[in-house]
Amino acid sequence: MPRIVEPAGLPQTRPPSWKWIIAGLLLLATTINYLDRQTLSTLSKRIIADFQLDKEQYGDLEMAFGLAFAAGSLVFGLLADAISVRWLYPAVLLAWSLVGMLTGFTQLFDELLFCRSALGFFEAGHWPCAVLTMQRLLVEKDRTLGNSVLQSGAAIGAIFTPLAVNFLVGDSTEPGVWRSPFIIVGLVGTLWIIAWFCLIRSRDLATIPPDAVAVESFRDAVLSRRFFTLLIVVVALNTTWQLLRAWMLLFLVEGRHYSETDARYFNSAFFVAADIGCLLAGASVGWLTRRGWVGHRARVLVFGCCAIMTTLTTAAAFLPKGPALLGVLLIVAAGSLGMFPCYYSFTQDLGRQHVGKISGLLASLGWLISAPTHKWFGREIDATHSYDLGIAWLGWMPLIGFLTLLILWRSGSRKQPLA
């Protein structure tokens, strides 16, 4: 077991700026994670045509990713505590990079399904490794900023994927042209691994900060009413965000007749809006608390406002191609990602000494329950030849999570069991 030292954080031999260089390296890892994840949805139109898939089969690809991600969250959450992260982290990143590259060589649907499943499994390992690295390197007062830097890589990756695909593929109609982005994006991960080993030594991650030592019962936290509340919340958030992430381009191209190139550019704008919403949500909570609001009340208010914003998917379902549609979707993007900083704070309120275990378990259950909605979403499109019904109800899921927070969170103490 790593020994506990006081004070925790940066090793004596490192300059103060080094920890933020590592934070930037973790941001790049998150960016690579989302580049590999979003390449499929960005090229979905080409892949569906090349493999002659229906929408339910495309939904199967995204469902397989989600189910594998759920399994990986549990497996790598345990391994991160048992194996040196200096070796586990690059191994996981290398594995998902190789799987991403292999996707570009698939010829059969079953091969593509296997690659998508393996990608989800190994990509899940990024989060426990990254969070543990932040915990070991940063003292408590710096971790929130460090985690914000880490999380911002998700939006950056999603923003740059359509731009990279447009550069590499453009409007080419050549068969198989979609394969090269998978291979090139996969190669980027190998460069990150070299930087990791150059910057991280084993002793850099060898100490556990005293504030992370568990003193409360993990069992009590998991059996509490608030854990059940957050499970409903994370399923609602994950369902809305992941369906938007995976199906937005197809909705624009097939549902509203935008060109693939224009839809990819809008996808970048969509994730820019999502990132802005995420940052504004955090800033709004801070503004409210500085003016005397209780922290939890401030987060619930901001969460509720963001949930209301996502219900505008119903308006999007009735709007034709044009600026109004795109404007509404940008508002939906800001709201859908703006709820996540609030959700992470709720998990910290649930059990401060078990944040890693609780957040990992909630993430796994959230993916496990929400992943099948991709298959149902695709089946509905195949049956109706329309995206409108699915888009219309999609944005109401977070409001269910918000109402659950209002009803259940304050009804009982932290350690009150469900029974």
| pLDDT(301) > 80 | yes
Lowest mean pLDDT among 2-11, 104-113, 133-142, 168-177: 2-11
| pLDDT(164) > 70 | yes
Q: What is the pLDDT of residue 285?
A: 82
**Residues 190, 100: Cα–Cα separation, whole Å:** 12
**Residues 260, 316: Cα–Cα separation, whole Å:** 19
Q: Between 343 and 140, whose confidence is greater? A: 343
Residues 213-224, mean pLDDT to the nearest whole number: 70
| pLDDT(351) > 70 | no
| pLDDT(1) > 80 | no
| pLDDT(412) > 50 | no
Q: Between 127 and 262, whose confidence is greater? A: 262
Conformational region of residue 15, where left means phi above 0, alpha means psi within -120 to 50, and beta covers everything else: beta
Q: What is the pLDDT of residue 139?
A: 64
Tens of pLDDT, residues 86-129: 899 999 999 999 999 999 999 999 999 999 999 999 999 888 78
Q: Is 370 exposed, middle or buried (0-12, 13-18, 19+ CB in 10 A)?
A: buried
Q: What is the pLDDT of residue 312?
A: 97
User: Do the Cβ atoms of 315 and 325 come closer than 8 Å?
Assistant: no
| pLDDT(172) > 80 | no
**Which residue carries 């994370």 as its tokens?**
234
Helices and strands of the chain, counted as H and E runs: 19, 2
User: Do the Cβ atoms of 395 and 255 come closer than 8 Å?
Assistant: no
**Residues 19, 384: Cα–Cα separation, whole Å:** 53
Tens of pLDDT, residues 271-297: 889 888 887 887 888 788 788 888 788
With bands split at pLDDT 50, 70 and 90, how would you rate the model's confidence at 134?
confident
In 3D space, the residue among 347, 345, 343, 335 whose CA is nearest the CA of residue 280 turns out to be 335
**What's the full length of the chain, in residues?**
419
| Residue 223 DSSP symbol | T
| % of the chain beyond a pLDDT of 70 | 86
| % of the chain beyond a pLDDT of 90 | 35
Would you give the distance in Å from CA 106 to the centre of its chain? 25
Residues 63-88, mean pLDDT to the nearest whole number: 86
| pLDDT(355) > 70 | no
Q: What is the pLDDT of residue 23?
A: 82
**Residues 197, 395: Cα–Cα separation, whole Å:** 42
Residues 215-227, mean pLDDT to the nearest whole number: 78
Q: Average pLDDT, whole number, for the chain?
A: 83
Q: Which residues of 91-108 are buried (b: 16+ CB within 10 A; e: fewer)?
A: ebbbbbbbbbbbbbebee
With bands split at pLDDT 50, 70 and 90, how would you rate the model's confidence at 2?
very low
Domains and CATH numbers, the chain: 13-213 (1.20.1250.20), 216-419 (1.20.1250.20)
